[in-house]
Amino acid sequence: MRDFLGDYCICCHNPEGNKRRLDLEIIYEESITGHPEIWEKMVTRIESRDMPPVKARKRPLEKDYAVALETLPFHAHGL
Ligand code: HEC
């Protein structure tokens, strides 16, 4: 899961980035289970294929989305 985020998300979602953007590095550095609200948001955006944005240089393959969505809910609920 961290690979998925590292490959496709962190390039935009990091502390140096635009302040409007969610800081996903927080779930790298702090407890991965400590931020269920962030995981929930991520599930929503990934389910709707809304993130990464269409204009992003690198977008996940459909199979990467599938794997991410299988594992994300477990993180969200601290399992
Ligand atoms: C090309 C840059 C870029 C990439 C790559 C990207 N995002 Fe985003 N993301 C944005 C921008 C800009 C916004 C704010 C605009 C919006 O909400 O659509 C955003 C918003 C979000 C939000 C909503 C934040 C909130 O507070 O409601 C979530 C969740 C999110 N991104 C998750 C992800 C995930 C997960 C990935 C990787 C699969 C990802 N993003 C990859 C640019 C990016």
Atom of ligand 1 nearest to the CA of 44: 29
30: left (phi over 0), alpha (psi -120 to 50) or beta: beta
Query: Which stretches in the chain have pLDDT values below 50?
Result: none
pLDDT, residue 54, reads: 87
pLDDT, residue 63, reads: 93
Q: What does the alpha-carbon distance between residue 29 and residue 37 come to, in Å, rounded to a whole number?
A: 16
Q: Where are the beta strands (DSSP E) in 5-75?
A: none
pLDDT, residue 60, reads: 92
Q: What does the alpha-carbon distance between residue 16 and residue 13 come to, in Å, rounded to a whole number?
A: 8
pLDDT, residue 29, reads: 65
Q: What does the alpha-carbon distance between residue 6 and residue 70 come to, in Å, rounded to a whole number?
A: 17
Q: Where are the domains of the chain?
A: 2-76
| Ligand 1 neighbourhood includes 2 CB (under 6 angstroms) | no
